[in-house]
Amino acid sequence: MSIHRQKQHKYYDKKYPKQRQQWPGIQANMTPRPDCGEKSYIGAERLVGRRALITGADSGIGRAVAIAFAREGADVALSYYPTEEKDARDTAKYIRATGRIAMLIPGDVGDEEFCHQMVHDAARTLGGLDTLVLNAGYQQHCDSIADLTTEQLRRTFDVNLFSMFWTVQAALPILKPGASIITTTSIQAYQPSAGLLDYAASKAAIMAFTRALGKQLAPKKIRVNGVAPGPIWTALQIAGGQKQSDIPSFGADTPMKRAGQPAELAATYVLLASDASSYTTAEIYGVTGGHHTM
Ligand code: NAD
Ligand code: MG
């Protein structure tokens, strides 16, 4: 089998069974379970001695990044919503199996005070911080702007965007030259869906935040970059992110004709965290199955 064929057939490409969970969703209860690289990611000492805080680290993309960072040699603080304890403990188990520290920080990143506390607790336990992955995200599908509540609007922006401001404000006095900040934006920033008005707007704002902050922090030698995923099979999608009727064909409209798995994102975050990307800042990397960002 050629390398090309192996890659095309490595991940799930069939229809997804309809399934609905209450927000924020537990990935351990999904069918099929998202692949976060638990069995596949192999580290190569790219992040030895690094101390990373990752938000939304219990499941999905955040979990894939957490596992990869630990296998690359980093200690990791895992931020997640308190009801996600089960997924968070699973993630911590994979990190501890590498011999690295996994610190659990449950709480609501939509709360400014919590964001400050989270940064200070992480830095105290890990002995400093040099890598921030701002990945927590809130997505609720809503067909019409007429039905969009102010509560949802505020929640989307608090969690997706304002948490990034608050977390970076708290972390800035701690971060040293060489530090790396990575945000998770979305293909939605470039090609917004009709039913994801608030979410897409928040992700476009994250793109601008990433680019502006990259320029602002370049003189401090702190790099800031973003990752823009396409459709990825995660709990976010089955906990209100998509209409149930769209679940079976989720991701099938990409040129690769399938959704991605969180594991397929991890290497990009590792690259952006590591010194190998020392001349890269204020950039957004797309991982979209071919629905390119521009
Ligand atoms: P996920 O549900 O596995 O992860 C999202 C995480 O965000 C949750 O696990 C939760 O821990 C965290 N979170 C949400 N609200 C929170 C709050 N108030 N307080 C604390 N934590 C909170 O789903 P995912 O798809 O891996 O999402 C990770 C990121 O990727 C999000 O920013 C999402 O917008 C982005 N993204 C996902 C896709 C996709 O198709 N899945 C596509 C583009 C971008
Ligand atoms: Mg989760």
φ, ψ of residue 285 in degrees (nearest 5): -100, 125
Please check the confidence at residue 8 and state whether its pLDDT lies above 80.
Answer: no
Q: What is the pLDDT of residue 1?
A: 42
Closest ligand by atom to 82 CA: 1
Q: What CATH number has the domain bearing residue 242?
A: 3.40.50.720
Instruction: Give 146: exposed, middle or buried? Use CB within 10 Å, 0-12, 13-18, 19+.
Output: exposed
Residue 184 lies in a domain: yes
Query: Over the stretch 211-244, which tens digit does the pLDDT of each residue have?
Result: 999 999 999 999 999 999 999 999 999 999 999 9
Residue 23 lies in a domain: no
Query: Over the stretch 25-74, which tens digit does the pLDDT of each residue have?
Result: 999 999 999 999 999 999 999 999 999 999 999 999 999 999 999 999 99
- Predicted model pTM: 0.98
Query: Over the stretch 85-134, which tens digit does the pLDDT of each residue have?
Result: 999 999 999 999 999 999 999 999 999 999 999 999 999 999 999 999 99
Ligand 1 site: residues with CB under 6 angstroms? 24-25, 27, 56, 58-62, 80-81, 84, 108-110, 135-139, 159, 184, 186, 229, 231-232, 234-237, 262
Peptide bond into 24 cis (omega under 30): yes
Give the number of domains in the chain.
1
Neighbours of ion ligand 2 (CB under 5 A): 58-59, 84, 235
Residue 240 lies in a domain: yes
Q: What is the pLDDT of residue 7?
A: 56
Residue 139 lies in a domain: yes
Q: What is the pLDDT of residue 126?
A: 98
| Cα distances (Å, whole numbers) of residue 173 to 82, 170, 179 | 27, 7, 12
* Catalytic residue chosen out of the listed positions 16, 80, 199, 285: 199
Atom of ligand 1 nearest to the CA of 108: 19
Residue 32 lies in a domain: no
Residue 293's pLDDT band, with cuts at 50, 70 and 90, is confident
Query: Over the stretch 143-178, which tens digit does the pLDDT of each residue have?
Result: 999 999 999 999 999 999 999 999 999 999 999 999
Residue 265 lies in a domain: yes
Any residues with CB less than 8 A from the CB of 224 and at least 6 apart, and which?
180, 181, 182, 183, 210, 213, 214, 217, 281, 282
12 noted as active-site residue = no
Q: What is the pLDDT of residue 294?
A: 73
Residue 187 lies in a domain: yes
Residue 18 lies in a domain: no
List the beta strands (DSSP E) in the chain. Answer: 51-55, 75-80, 102-106, 131-134, 180-184, 223-229, 284-287
Q: Domain span at residue 92?
A: 42-286
Please check the confidence at residue 4 and state whether its pLDDT lies above 60.
Answer: no
Mean model confidence pLDDT for the chain: 96
Q: What is the pLDDT of residue 2?
A: 46
Q: Please tell me the distance between residue 267's alpha carbon and the centre of ligand 2 in angstroms.
A: 20
Longest dimension (CA), the chain: 53
Q: Please tell me the distance between residue 121's alpha carbon and the centre of ligand 2 in angstroms.
A: 21
